[in-house]
Chain A
Amino acid sequence: MSLLETKDLTVRFGGLVAVDQVSLSVDEGETVGLIGPNGSGKTTLFNAITGLYPAAGGEVVFRGERLTGLETHVIARRGIARTFQSSRLCLQLSTFDNVLIGLYAHLRAGLWTALVRRARFLGEVRSALGTVRHLLELFNPDLVRRGFDRAGELPQIDRRRVEICRALASRPRLLLLDEPSAGMSPEETAELMKDLRVVREEMPGLSLIVIEHDMYVIEGVSQRVVAFNYGRKIAEGPFAAVAATEEVREAYLGREEASSA
């Protein structure tokens, strides 16, 4: 049984069909690359899986249970985490805070403990910070040193890392990465590739779906690639095969270019 399965998933915005009867599956431990031109529905797919957009048709099944119709925070607690195209960090909060929130579902201390049993609360703070430090250290020990600095003071590549740490903190089974290399230089992209390898090592059973425009990254991390166009899945398979598919080349390059290339 696959970890995640979408069956004929459809998302509509008024008259526009953004995701058109998409069926795909991801197994445990797999990394799937998701490619396609801008506006082909890739991020919308992520949003539908995580419950931010309602499904107009079809369903999403995760670990054997239906996700469609559930609220986003419930889905997150089931074990799906994600990053965003324009990284959504709380820039006014500390780096530690930005990762700590990823632990939210696992934190036990409630209002009463925080108000009245402060020592017990602080115990959980210490252990949570320990987890956070460990995660940040995997990517950049400097982040630990500057853990109480506001996230807004970090450079772009570090912000991406913090976002990934936040996603990892929840110990997800499935991680959705939305264009992690967006806005990065080639050097930073190489760093990102290393980061993704670190993620793999840290959580071997973790499944990933990675939306990317940078084919170098896709080729480097995916075991399987799915290509989108106009909200529909148009190809699936190993990178080389998908990249060579006529329809995929057409989607990116246009009809004439694709045939002449």
Chain B
Amino acid sequence: MPAPEIVLQQAFNGLMLGVMYALIAVGFTLFFGVLDVIHFSHGDIFMLGAFAGLALLGLWGAAGLAAAPVVLPLTFAGAMLVTGLVGVAAERACVKPLARSAPLMTLLATLSLGLVIREAILIFYPRGADPKPFPALLPAGGFDVAGVFVRYENLAILGIGFGAMIAVDLVINRTRLGAAIRAVAQDPDAAQMMGVNLDRTVDWTFFIGSALAAIAGILNGLYYSEIHFIMGIMGGVIGFSAAAIGGLGNVYGAILGGLLFGVLQTMAAAFIPRGSEFRDVVAFAVVMLFLIFRPTGILGEKSVERV
């Protein structure tokens, strides 16, 4: 049985990962809420956000800006704009037109769209196949707490991540847009009859969800100091599973699922023999088991077939 400090350390690291998964998962759950679709390319939007962030950082660098407090917010904002717009474009071109037909179609279409985004980065981003170093912009150093080493960058990641989640929670529960999103998620027809503009609400939902993915992408880059064009696959699979674990359509569930997944995956990698090599296998296996045995999630999903 490993020492408690090590367990705590890994759990803390897992929380870092979990925050990123949670941000992706919230997107999945929002999309499912308003359109009843699994937007499989969302993982690659996460990857796109990371690359957009990297590209922007390069841009600021070329323009002579380097100071973290200036550059970071600009990068976040810029990447969020890019992914938000791409997300909306994807929704309008590909997701909404197919939302009414068999779920299989949306699934395949969004899966393929993800492939297109992934390959586009591979092909068109300079030396896209290689993992790309991501600049370290968060404060270095840290401090010790009960045997656990807490880095300032970890705090920053947690802070930004939770800040984003709180912001989303506020939007959903305290704004008119949020009310519209909740209404559409519950009953699109009734919402329309109450005057909600369905199209615009769906657009905004996709914008917000995709923007969150950009935040996750940049955080991912900052945490690992590197990004790779295939990061979207894992991000997508885990993000979706986390959302499913929490119950599709349930935002708190998605956050919970994401955090849980991050912690579990990190602990498994640390404590199972050859864990880091098979880290992904463990993640996928957990996903499979969960989907098989508890597909409606811990906090419950919304949908029932009438006979």
* Direct contact, A vs B (beta carbon within 8 Å): yes
Q: How far is the CA of A52 from the CA of B307 in the complex (A)?
A: 9
Minimum CB–CB distance from A11 to chain B (whole Å) comes to 12
Q: Report the contact-size class of chain A (Cβ under 8 Å from the partner).
A: under 10
Q: How far is the CA of A53 from the CA of B307 in the complex (A)?
A: 10
Name the prevailing secondary structure of the A interface residues. loop
Chain A, Cβ-Cβ closest to B304: A13
Q: How far is the CA of A76 from the CA of B296 in the complex (A)?
A: 29
Chain B residues, Cβ within 8 Å of A53: 307
Q: Which of A46-79 contact B (CB under 8 A)?
A: 47, 52-53
Chain B residues, Cβ within 8 Å of A47: 307
Q: How far is the CA of A237 from the CA of B307 in the complex (A)?
A: 28
The A-B contact count (CB < 8 A) is: 5
Q: How far is the CA of A137 from the CA of B307 in the complex (A)?
A: 29
Chain A residues, Cβ within 8 Å of B307: 43, 47, 52-53, 84
Chain B, Cβ-Cβ closest to A53: B307
Q: How far is the CA of A47 from the CA of B307 in the complex (A)?
A: 8
Q: How far is the CA of A43 from the CA of B307 in the complex (A)?
A: 8
Q: How far is the CA of A53 from the CA of B305 in the complex (A)?
A: 12
> Per-residue 0/1 for B281-307: is the Cβ within 8 Å of any A Cβ (1 yes, 0 no)?
000000000000000000000000001
Chain B, Cβ-Cβ closest to A86: B306
Q: How far is the CA of A84 from the CA of B306 in the complex (A)?
A: 11
Minimum CB–CB distance from B105 to chain A (whole Å) comes to 14
> Per-residue 0/1 for B248-260: is the Cβ within 8 Å of any A Cβ (1 yes, 0 no)?
0000000000000
Minimum CB–CB distance from B254 to chain A (whole Å) comes to 24
Q: How far is the CA of A92 from the CA of B273 in the complex (A)?
A: 52
Minimum CB–CB distance from A103 to chain B (whole Å) comes to 23
Minimum CB–CB distance from B303 to chain A (whole Å) comes to 15
Q: How far is the CA of A43 from the CA of B306 in the complex (A)?
A: 11
Chain B residues, Cβ within 8 Å of A43: 307
Q: How far is the CA of A84 from the CA of B307 in the complex (A)?
A: 8
Minimum CB–CB distance from B133 to chain A (whole Å) comes to 52
Chain B, Cβ-Cβ closest to A50: B307
Chain B residues, Cβ within 8 Å of A84: 307
Minimum CB–CB distance from B14 to chain A (whole Å) comes to 35
Chain B residues, Cβ within 8 Å of A52: 307
Chain B, Cβ-Cβ closest to A44: B307
Q: How far is the CA of A52 from the CA of B306 in the complex (A)?
A: 11
B residues near A (Cβ < 8 Å) are 307
A residues near B (Cβ < 8 Å) are 43, 47, 52-53, 84
Report, nearest first, the 5 A-B pairs whose CB atoms are least far apart.
Answer: A47-B307, A52-B307, A43-B307, A84-B307, A53-B307
